[in-house]
Structure 1
Amino acid sequence: MKNFGLFVLLALVVAVTAELHDNTPLGRLSRRHHNVNRRRSTPAQRCAKRNAKASSSSVAVNEALVKTSAAPPPPPAKTSEAPKPSAPPSVKGLINVKSNCGAIGATKDVTQYSGPNGNIDWLNCGLNDGGWQPPYIRVEDVITMDLGEAVKDPNSAFSACSDYISTFEKYAWQFGVPPIMIASFAMQESGCNPATVGGAGEQGLMQLTWDKCLAAPGGNCKDVDYNIKTGAKFFADSLNGNGGDLLKTIAGYNGWSVSMTFDQATAAGNTGCCRCQNNLDYLHQFLNGWCQNVNAYTHNPPLGKYFNLAKCH
């Protein structure tokens, strides 16, 4: 019993001592130090969690950057364009143009009615049906021989022009037209005879009308140089004025006009100026005869269909 009382007394002493310790500055400092240590551990845990979130955000941002910076998809492959329709195949050595005059009827060999530059009915399109409506042909469309090569042939259609070849070439080149066409006018109009005078007073190789003779040297419109130069210039100027329409220009040299009818062309046949008619075989003889180095008059048979000048004497 005595020992029990001693135990109780010791317990009370310990309790009082502990209470006194807690209330002293040292005790309070000890508790604060403990609490501070506890708080220090807490931010570390919070930072760890925050870093984990930041790490997740960084991954998301990086993934977004990768997605946005990825190369754009390649453009769709270009589809090849459909081929444009090509012009109808041409036969070498034959004229090939579009027209509203039916089949061209060109032939490699020169015949009475056809040749490399078409059939006479195609060249004379509409003449017997409401009036002449020529298909549009340019100089570069037609088939011609080179004049220099043509005169080398012993049987050349231009034998009568041999003394004037250099002059034909000189002025044809000056005015930008083929020399063989200028020589063909001379053969068609005068047979290349510089002394020729036409039924209406036309003069010389190129059969110049009076209005083109006003500047002739000494009034001599038959002067070869002047005659060829003036004829070549007239042809070139007419060609330009007609927008490059070759048939209209060639036929115009013989007095043809668009919409001309057969009756109009031959009206002078029964007058005192029979040779004032328009030669209805002119285009065929010019393009399929002379321009091919073929004599349109001596060819057997002669080139043509109408021969409306044959009755003129």
Structure 2
Amino acid sequence: MSFQKTILLLTACAATALAQTGDLGLGTNPEAQGATSDVTPGAGPNGSEDWLNSGMEGDGWEAPFLSWDSLIKIDRKTFYANAGATCKQYDWAFQQAGDKHGIDPVFLAIIAMQESSCNPDAGGPTPGLMQVACSNYPDGQCTNDVEKSVDAGAAFLRRQLDDNNRNAIKVIGNYNGFFTKGDQTGLNGGRGLTRDYPCSEDGKAHGMPQNLDYLQQILNGWFLGLNPYGDENWLGQYHCSGDCSSGHIC
């Protein structure tokens, strides 16, 4: 299905908003390799998944450069009207944290949707809307408090932008625990993230990351108003579910 048709199917309201903003269409990001005007399981306007995941088939993730400022994305109004409807009630928190850390609030809303489906009560080792490590909170204590969680997520995102020359692929990958050889994490024998790492003994022991489709789902999914957890669950080439059963990479 073409990107244009997919967007039109979302709702007439969304289609109207897209036509008015001109942010989308059938164009491609000129900085992105393998970019396609149609969204497919393995590609879209912000690049191909094979490019986004560069190196995972070999010696480890290399994180190619894609400027944060070049990203093709929808606006908050369109996002809230469709795929991000659950996040609308927390717009005040995204706006507040976005203003504080100099980040477009739509990025925070999108990450919250990917991380927790905008559920402030989402559990796990990093609870809350943004599912960010406890070390990002001022007191080092995780909480499902909406304001604190969004601020912690925005603070982490701000540091990633500053430390990685606004490389969108590195920034977003780091949010999901992707790592390169230069990250010096010691994981995967000191190599970057590889396709087979999540289901290796080391990968299962550390439990991170468990979604090799993360970059594709965000950059060519949520950013474009598509829902990888819903009607567009065909996005991605790995379909990781957090387990290593037959048929899954991770």
Q: Smaller-chain TM-score range?
A: 0.7 to 0.9
Deviation at 1:310? 5.0
Q: Which amino acid aligns with 1:132?
A: W
Structure 1 pair 109/178, CA: closer, same or farther in 2 (3 Å)?
farther
Match of 1:210 among 131, 134, 159: 134
Deviations 1:39-88 (A, max 9, x none): xxxxxxxxxxxxxxxxxxxxxxxxxxxxxxxxxxxxxxxxxxxxxxxxxx
Q: Is the Cα contact below 8 Å between 1:94 and 1:106 reproduced in 2?
A: yes
Which amino acid in structure 1 is aligned with residue 235 of structure 2? L
Distance 1:269 1:291 in 2: 32
CA distance 1:139–1:271, shift in 2 (3 Å): closer
Matched position secondary structure for 2:43: coil
Q: In the alignment, is residue 225 of structure 1 matched against residue 147 of structure 2?
A: yes
TM-superposed CA distance for 1:256, in Å, is 0.7
CA spacing shift, 1:265–1:239, aligned 2, 3 Å: farther
Q: Does 1:110 align with 2:39?
A: yes
1:178 aligned partner: 104
| Structure 1: distance between partners of 2:203 and 2:167 | 32
The correspondence for 2:27, drawn from 93, 99, 113, is: 93
Q: Name the CA shift for 1:179/1:147 in 2 (closer, same or farther; >3 Å).
A: same
Code of the aligned partner of 2:65: Y
User: Structure 1: 5+ residue runs without aligned partners?
Assistant: 1-90, 99-103
1:255 deviates by: 0.7
Tell which deviates more after alignment, 263-272 or 160-169: 263-272
Q: Is 1:252 the counterpart of 2:174 in the alignment?
A: yes
Amino acid at match of 2:227: N
Q: How far is the alpha carbon of 1:150 from its aligned partner? A: 2.4
Deviation digits for residues 93-121 of structure 1, max 9, x if unmatched? Answer: 311127xxxxx222223222211111111
CA distance in 2, matches of 1:209, 1:294: 27
Larger radius of gyration between Structure 1 and Structure 2: 1
Conserved? CA contact 1:93–1:143, under 8 Å: no
Counterpart check, 1:158 vs 2:84: yes
Say whether the 8 Å CA contact 1:297–1:303 is kept in structure 2. no
What amino acid is the match of 2:118?
C
Q: Measure how far apart 1:178 and its partner are.
A: 2.3
User: Which consecutive unaligned segments of at least 5 residues does structure 2 have?
Assistant: 1-24, 181-191, 246-250
Q: Using a 3 Å threshold, how does the CA distance of structure 1 residues 267 and 183 change in structure 2: closer, same or farther?
A: farther
Identify, as 1 or 2, the structure richer in helix: 1
Tell me if the contact between 1:188 and 1:286 (Cα under 8 Å) persists in the aligned partners. yes
Q: 1:128 to 1:177 in 2, by over 3 A?
A: same
Match of 2:158 among 227, 236, 244: 236
Counterpart position of 1:279 = 211
Q: Number of paired residues?
A: 210
Farther off after superposition, 140-149 or 223-232? 140-149
Q: Indicate the residue corresponding to 1:42 in structure 2.
A: none
Partner-residue secondary structure (3-state), 1:180: helix
C-alpha distance in 2, partners of 1:146/1:298?
20
Distance 1:111 1:167 in 2: 33
CA distance in 2: counterparts of 1:221 and 1:131, whole angstroms: 33
Q: Per the alignment, in what secondary structure is the counterpart of residue 205 of structure 1?
A: coil
Contact 2:227 2:233 in 1 (8 A): no
Identity across aligned pairs (percent)? 34
1:192-216 deviation per Cα after TM superposition (whole angstroms, max 9, x unaligned): 1000112xx1110001223234527
Structure 1 residues 225, 270: closer, same or farther in 2, change over 3 A? closer
Per-residue deviation, residues 119-143 of structure 1 (Å, max 9, x unmatched): 1111111110221112211111110
Give the C-alpha shift of residue 296 in structure 1: 1.2
Distance 1:138 1:173, change over 3 A: farther
1:95 and 1:143 in contact (8 A); partners too: yes
Per-residue displacement from partner, 1:14-45 (whole Å, max 9, x unpaired)? xxxxxxxxxxxxxxxxxxxxxxxxxxxxxxxx
Aligned-partner SS, 1:126: coil
- Are 2:78 and 1:149 equivalent residues in the alignment? yes
